[in-house]
Structure formats: structure tokens, C-alpha cells
Amino acid sequence: MTKPPRKKTKTKATLKKSVPKKPAKTAPFPSNEDILKFVEQSSGRVGKREIARAFKLNARQKMTLKKVLREMQQSGSLQKDRGKRVRKPGTLASVTVIQATGPDRDGEMMARPVTWESDDPPPKIYMVLDPRRQPQPGPGDRVLARLSATGDGAYEARVIRTIAAAPDQVLGIFGIVGGQGRLSPTDRRSKGEFVIDDQDTLDAKPGDLVRAEPVAGRKLGLRRARIVERVAADGSDGAATASMIAIADYGLPTRFSNDALKLAETAGPAPAKGRDDFRDIPLVTIDGADARDFDDAVWAEPDRDKNNTGGWHLLVAIADVSWYVRPGDGLDVGAYERGNSVYFPDRVVPMLPEALSNGWCSLVPDEDRPCMAVHLWIDASGKLIRHQFKRGLMRSKARLTYEQIQSAKDGHPDKVTKPLLQSVIEPLYGAYQALLKDRETRGVLELEMPERVIRLAKDGRVEAIANRQRLDSHKLIEEFMIAANVAAAETLQKARREFLYRVHDEPSTEKLDALREVLASIAIKFAKGGVASPKRFNSILKKTADTPHAPMVNMMVLRSQAQAEYGPDNLGHFGLALRRYCHFTSPIRRYADLLVHRALIDAGGLGQGGLGKSPRDMTEVGKHLSETERRAAGAERSAVDRFTAAYLEQRIGARFGGRINGVTRFGLFVTLEETGADGLIPIRTLGEDYFVHDEDRHSLRGRRSGLEYRLGQNVEITLKEANPVSGGMIFALANSEDSRAPRQPRGKPAKAKHGRGKKRKNKAKR
């Protein structure tokens, strides 16, 4: 008998399987704002995969996301990154190519992205240099770097590899060590010497300044190089090469064209026809004792106008360089290339050949010289009420020094100044006192920043370094020149002539915020908002004038200021509290002044040598002259550093008082009180502690000890190294053992902390 088929019993498991599944819930598709916010807040790499995963998108939504991301890139709300990743416009990829631009005011190496597509300025990039990587990246070097945002819009960059090093050549001093050629680089960032084989010396002698090309291979652990140019022969000693190193390092032009030299050598006296005769007016030049050229002369008398009681009539006469240097000629081309003269302790790199700068364009005593002059009439309060420009012929009554005229004013005249005391010197000081009243009324920014003076012996060695003395005679000339410059700017602006203003813009909001942070740390209020003015800064300087904080506050106020430059647009001069300003008074040494002279000649119909229709764009001219000015300042500063290092080289181990003038993640920069020399205290010498770098407070603070080093703080140091070739100096705190302090025990350092908002802290080992 056949059994009937057995019915299958549905178990719970079977019943569960048979229940139809509910459709999976679809995640909401993110808006463009949601996507952009996710990209902004992500610290790692972000692409379509990371976005889809974050918003739990399905396959169909991923296809839509691809289209949306493409549209966002086309609209500019997102920017394509490496590979298939995206990022917010105006930000940088986590790995990108950057170019080192040089140290900032605190000595930290800065960089900029090689590619930057935004119209906004690129963010700050601080390079975190690894001491194990040699040579260190220098200005112009391109590197592939890993970037990490610091939280305040800036980035820290750690070098992955060098892409292209610039420059390819090394400037240095050639020497012989153990019978083998050696090159000591002049760049203080370059660590270690180069070996030069006998066949690669180019017949250089020990002490010669040379350029060399690094070559592959090493000897004795040192890099190798071959000399390609002998820049300059050895001077009388190491210090004598300081200026030559600066000239070569900054690429200063030192040779004039044959055309320029011929024009200068064949120049002669300018004709008197068409010029006002100032030869009977006792104009005098007042300059430093070591001045080589004299391009300005001054005179003053009480104003005879009854409507200007207590007022003064001033005459400022300036060498008529425009008569000798015409637009487009050999002299003009060379002067434009230089932009300005460069002054070193032992020499000058002039803008014009000496036949002009020390000859026909120098207002030497008792000789007829052509001049551009301006009559200035001021009231009793020093306000400029009218002015008039003339082209004239003058004869300087005397060549006076600042010390000489000040001594005469103070009751100690010499045989030169005694006959001039009542007729010339007293009226000059009378007009100066009136100009001071106007200066005070305007509220000029009054900073006290000492300037180093290098005094050389006859053999070229440094015999003394001191701060430059500031006398009333210095200020007198400054006020006369400022008044003449203002008159020139007013005249040309009224005549609607194109010329270069000397502009000094207001401080930026970012710099004011940084200053506010520092002032708050010493319980000084600097109210947010309101109009920035020199008077506000002066009130802060006055509050701290007699306190230990005075040097630091002066330094921080200076650093908060914009950099003065040349341009055709009138932005005013913030520091001098002037609505319009230009440079007119030094055409021998500044090309910008020569352009102003030419424009005044055209505006006043004063004869030949005007600007005419210049083929150059004034905006580009302003940029070029601003750059040559910065180049000259850098060269002068680097030469002074080398002279100073040569002077202190014999005092290794000595103690000095100093003041912290810069705080960085890798150490403290200190300025010595005695000489103004600058050097570095490496962070490794500060003791066994982790130090946190607070950029806003300009301080390094020990994590365990709580010990803090701040900008402006007085310290006592020991001089450990002084290198006359590079100008670098290494210090150690006098209370520390020495620069070879015991190393920190190995271990994983704590991660750098970054403050919120604009606060940014960096932790450095030891």
C-alpha cells in the first residue's frame, strides 16, 4: 500500500524566510552645502568614495554624486585635487609642491604654493625643517611637502623630497685645509663645507670669494664642488670681505656701461640761463662725517610777510641730477637697474658714476652747482601755507656735519660755524622748532629703534660698534626734507602729473590683532575697532616708555606696520600722518626722486630733462624700485652682520646682556645690548623640557617647568660661535651649562597642540 506524500511542515525558520523583505531605507542625498562642509572639516584625503561612505549612499546615489561633484568643480565651489580627490578652493592639498621664500621677521622659514588658482592671497606656510636633512631648503628651493593645517588658516610643511634646488651655485670663501681645497658657504643656512679638487679651483687663492657648483660624490663625508667664478680676490682680512659677500649674494650691479661712464666723464657745468641765481644765499649742507656725496642744502629766515607773524621762509636746494641724466640714456638705464645706492661700512655701490655723484651732482662748498629748489613758507605752528619750485644755480657756503652744527647750537662753535651761528644756524633751528609743532599736531608715529654704526680702523678692521646718536641736527634735516617732499607731492597732484608716491598704508587687521594679543599679555588694552592712527600707537609707546616692556612694545608696533613702498596711487603716508607724500630730496641715490624731479620740470615748464612720455608703466616702475630698495636694505644688513661677527669672533665664551627679539619653534633670537648683534639660542640648549611655541604671545613655555621665554625679555648669554663668513652667531643662556646640553631621553614626544580660533601653538623638543 502506497503511503500518501507527507506534507511539509513550515517551521519558524521557514516562515521567517518566506516573509518578504522590506525595501532598504535610502539615505537622504546630501546638499551641496553638506558636501562642502564635510570636505572642509575632513583632515584626510577626500574623494567620491569618502563622501559616499560618510553619507551612506547607495550605488545609484553614487552615480548622482559623481555628477554633482563635477558640477561643483565647474561652478568653483570645489577644486580638483590630486587623483580623484577634491578640496575647498583657497585651501591646499595635503601633499603639494611648495617653494621656500625665505625667513620671516621671527626667522622662521616660509614658503608659498607653486600653484595657486585663487584670487585671494595664498595662506602662510611654515616649513618644519628636519636638522637631519642636509642641505636645508633655502629661498627658491622647490620641495614636495606634506601639509597640515594649523587651525588659523596657515599650514605647517614637512619636506618629503627636494624637487629643484635654487640656486644651483654656492657662494663661498675658498681656503686650504690639510692641503685640500675647501669652500665655506656664505649662506648661514648651508651646513658644512665643500671639498674642491685641485683641478676645480680655477686658480683661486685662499680668501677669495668664489661661486661653485656642487658635483656628485663625497670626500671625507663632505660634499664636493667645482669653482666656476672668482667673484673677488681676498681683502686685507676676513672682515674686509663682508661687503663683497653681500654684493655678490644679493646680485648688486657694480659695473657701469661704457656709455654711462662716457656721459659722466664728459659732463660739465650746467648753463645759468633760465635758472634762478641762489649763489648769494648762504645755503649749507649738513651730513654725516663720513658722507661722500652732498645732494641737499638748506637755509631759513623769518618770514617778512606781516600776515605771517612768527612764520618762516625756508629754501631747500637739491642737486639737479635730471640735467645730467636724461630719460633713456646710458646713465638712466644703469640708474634704473640699480634703483638706489647701497651703503656699506667700508664702501658704497652708487646709483650714478662717481664723476657725477661725487662731482657735478654733489653740492660741494664754494663751487657753482645746478639745483632744483623749493621755497617753503610755514606759519608759526609749522604748517605749510605755500611753496614754489625753481630751477637754480647755487654755491654752498659750508659743508657741515650733524655733530658740528649741534655743537655750535649748544654754545661750542668752531672756526667754521662761529661766523654762521647768527645768520644761518639760529634761523635753521628756529624754523625747525616750528616744524616740530606741526609734527606733534599731526601725531607722527614715534618709534625708538636704535641703529648700529660700524666704525672701521684704517686697516679695515672693526674697531667699534655703537648705536647711532640721534641729535636735534639730524631731526632738523629730516623735517626740512619732509616739508620739501610734501610740497613736491602737492604740486604734482595739483598738476595731475603721473609720478610715484611714497606710500605707507595702514596696518592690516591681522597685524593689529597680533599686536593686541601681545599687549593683552602685559595688561595693556588696545581696543578693537576704531580708526588706526599713529596717535593710538604713540599712546601705547608712551605708557610703556619707562618700563621693561618698552623695547618689546616698540618692536611689536614696528612689526605691525605695513611696508613703505613706491606706487602711482596715493594711499597716504600712515607713519608720517600725511595725506600725500613723495621722495624729492635724494636724486643722487634714489631713482624715484629723479622721476619726481622730471615730473616737476614738466609741471612747472622748467626746461630740459623732464619726464616726457615715459615708455615705462609707473605701476611696474614702483614695484621695481620697491624691490631694489628691499634688496639694498637686505645687503646692507647682511654686511653689518658679518662685520659684527668678525668683531666678536675674538670674544667667544664672553658673557653679554641681550634682549629676545624673536621667538620661533626652533629657538630664541637675541639682540645684544652692547653691539646690536643678533644671534640664535637653539631650543636644544634650553634644558630638559618640551617647549610650547605660542605664536600669538611670542613665547616658548616649558611644558613641565612652566619656564617661559618671551619677546622683549632681558637675558644674559654666552657667545658660543661667531662666523664672519656667514654672519651667523650662536648663543647659549649664561645660566645653562653650554650649547651641548644633555639630550632629551628618547621617547615619543607629545603631539603639537593647536589653539582654537587664531591661537596657534607648536610644541618643540627641548
C-alpha cell at 38: 564635510
List, for residues 582-609, the tens digit of each pLDDT value: 999 999 999 999 999 999 999 999 999 9
DSSP state of 401: E
Q: Where are the beta strands (DSSP E) in 150-261?
A: 155-164, 170-177, 180-185, 194-196, 209-219, 222-232
- The CATH number that domain 24-87 falls under is 1.10.10.10
| Strand pairing class (276-277; 312-319) | unpaired
Q: Which residue type does 202 have? A: L
For residues 574 and 535, what is the distance between their CA atoms, to the nearest angstrom? Answer: 11
Collapsing DSSP states into helix, strand and coil, what is residue 720?
A: strand
List, for residues 728-747, the tens digit of each pLDDT value: 999 999 876 443 333 333 33
Residue 88: phi and psi, rounded to 5, are: -70, 135
Give domain 652-765's CATH architecture.
Answer: Beta Barrel (2.40)
> What confidence score (pLDDT) does residue 51 get?
86
> What confidence score (pLDDT) does residue 760 get?
41
DSSP state of 460: S
Total residues found in the chain within this entry? 766
- Spatial contact of 608 and 370, defined as CB atoms under 8 Å apart: no
Collapsing DSSP states into helix, strand and coil, what is residue 313?
A: strand
> What confidence score (pLDDT) does residue 229 get?
87
| Strand pairing class (368-378; 714-722) | unpaired
Assign 559 a pLDDT band (cuts: 50, 70, 90).
confident
Looking from the CA of 502 toward its CB, the CA atoms found within 13 Å total 22
Residue 261 falls in which region: left (phi positive, over 0), alpha (psi -120 to 50) or beta: alpha
So where are the chain's domains?
24-87, 95-164, 170-234, 258-504+566-638, 509-561, 652-765
Collapsing DSSP states into helix, strand and coil, what is residue 58?
A: coil
Q: Looking at residues 246-268, what average pLDDT do you find? A: 93
- Spatial contact of 145 and 155, defined as CB atoms under 8 Å apart: no
Assign 4 a pLDDT band (cuts: 50, 70, 90).
low
Judged by average pLDDT, the poorest of 516-530, 550-564, 730-744 is: 730-744
Residue 541: phi and psi, rounded to 5, are: -60, -35
Q: Looking at residues 436-441, what average pLDDT do you find? A: 96
pLDDT of 44 strictly over 90:
no
For residues 229 and 232, what is the distance between their CA atoms, to the nearest angstrom? Answer: 9
Judged by average pLDDT, the poorest of 14-28, 272-286, 306-320 is: 14-28
Q: Looking at residues 335-363, what average pLDDT do you find? A: 95
The residues with which 503 forms a beta bridge, in sequence order, are: 565
Q: How many CB atoms lie within 10 A of CB 312?
A: 23
What does each C-alpha distance from 175 to 135, 179, 185, 264 come to in angstroms?
20, 10, 11, 39
pLDDT, the chain, mean = 85
For residues 458 and 499, what is the distance between their CA atoms, to the nearest angstrom? Answer: 43
The residues with which 340 forms a beta bridge, in sequence order, are: 590
Distance of CA 61 to the CA centre of its chain: 53
Q: Looking at residues 551-570, what average pLDDT do you find? A: 91
> What confidence score (pLDDT) does residue 73 get?
73
pLDDT of 47 strictly over 50:
yes
For residues 61 and 27, what is the distance between their CA atoms, to the nearest angstrom? Answer: 9
pLDDT of 554 strictly over 50:
yes
- Spatial contact of 381 and 266, defined as CB atoms under 8 Å apart: no
> What confidence score (pLDDT) does residue 736 get?
60
Higher pLDDT, 612 or 44: 612
Higher pLDDT, 178 or 746: 178
C-alpha cell at 299: 637755509
Q: Using alpha carbons only, what angle is made at residue 121 by residues 116 and 123, rounded to the nearest 5 degrees?
A: 80
> What confidence score (pLDDT) does residue 19 get?
52
pLDDT of 364 strictly over 50:
yes
Please name the fold of domain 95-164: OB fold (Dihydrolipoamide Acetyltransferase, E2P) (2.40.50)
Collapsing DSSP states into helix, strand and coil, what is residue 760?
A: coil
The yes-or-no answer to whether 24-87 and 170-234 have a common fold is no
Give domain 170-234's CATH architecture.
Answer: Beta Barrel (2.40)
| Strand pairing class (276-277; 384-395) | parallel
The DSSP H or E segment spanning 100 is strand 95-103
pLDDT of 81 strictly over 60:
yes
Residue 371: phi and psi, rounded to 5, are: -150, 155
DSSP state of 349: E
Q: Looking at residues 463-486, what average pLDDT do you find? A: 94
What does each C-alpha distance from 92 to 51, 141, 760 come to in angstroms?
19, 19, 18
Judged by average pLDDT, the poorest of 225-234, 241-250, 720-729 is: 225-234
Q: Which among 483, 387, 386, 428 is positioned nearest to 298, based on CA atoms? A: 428
Looking from the CA of 1 toward its CB, the CA atoms found within 13 Å total 2
pLDDT of 625 strictly over 60:
yes
> What confidence score (pLDDT) does residue 527 get?
80
pLDDT of 190 strictly over 80:
no
> What confidence score (pLDDT) does residue 758 get?
39
Q: Which residue has the cell 646709483?
A: 351
Collapsing DSSP states into helix, strand and coil, what is residue 239?
A: helix
Q: Looking at residues 328-338, what average pLDDT do you find? A: 95
> What confidence score (pLDDT) does residue 741 get?
36
> What confidence score (pLDDT) does residue 451 get?
84
Q: What percent of the chain has pLDDT over 90?
A: 52
- Spatial contact of 519 and 553, defined as CB atoms under 8 Å apart: yes
Q: Looking at residues 412-424, what average pLDDT do you find? A: 96
Higher pLDDT, 38 or 678: 678
Q: Looking at residues 403-408, what average pLDDT do you find? A: 97
Q: Which residue has the cell 606781516?
A: 306
List, for residues 141-167, the tens digit of each pLDDT value: 788 888 888 777 788 898 888 875 544
Q: Using alpha carbons only, what angle is made at residue 736 by residues 730 and 738, rounded to the nearest 5 degrees?
A: 50
Q: Looking at residues 499-515, what average pLDDT do you find? A: 91
Distance of CA 316 to the CA centre of its chain: 31
